[in-house]
Amino acid sequence: MEATTITDQEASALLDRAEAVAERAYAPYSGFKVGAVLLAADGSFFEGVNIENAAYGSSLCAERAAVAGAISAGDQDFIAIAVAAAGDGDISPCGACRQVLMEFSPDMRLVTGGPGGVRVEKVSELLPRPFHL
Ligand code: THU
């Protein structure tokens, strides 16, 4: 697959999947379960959930868990990532996750839920002036 973006239908399906994935999160401290589904340029999907820890600072966000799976599998080129919280599903990625997503695919789309339905945004527009070495 060589698509550089996704259709409304694909975005909606990706978001539904992220919401289902969120149920598998390990979030006993915050109680806030997050799921992420990453769509790679070759059509592969990588899922991630937040993984908290008793040493709070060692916790991992769902987005970065999904990226870790993709990079570990040799995939570095992404079309989109959907992020949802369990339940109502509306969430916006933290700054650290935006920086990590920017590292690989600045043009990738971020799919989240919103009052108006599914929201699709370009990651590069959500992190002006990212850090570069
Ligand atoms: N969290 C994510 O997994 N992704 C985000 O974009 C924001 C926050 C997690 C981290 C923590 O486990 C919980 O949500 C509450 O902050």
Q: In a structure prediction context, what are the per-residue pLDDT tens digits for the chain, which is 133 residues long?
A: 445 689 999 999 999 999 999 999 999 999 999 999 999 999 999 999 999 999 999 999 999 999 999 999 999 999 999 999 998 767 999 999 999 999 999 999 999 997 778 999 999 999 999 999 9
Model confidence pLDDT, tens digit, residues 34-55: 999 999 999 999 999 999 999 9
Burial of 88: CB neighbours in 10 Å, binned 0-12, 13-18, 19+:
exposed
Ligand 1 pocket check for 99: Cβ under 6 Å: no
pLDDT of residue 4: 67
Ligand 1 pocket check for 97: Cβ under 6 Å: yes
Provide the whole-model pTM.
0.95
Where exactly are the structural domains of the chain?
8-126
Which residue lies with its CA nearest to atom 4 of ligand 1?
61
CATH topology of domain 8-126: Cytidine Deaminase; domain 2 (3.40.140)
Active-site annotation, residues: 63
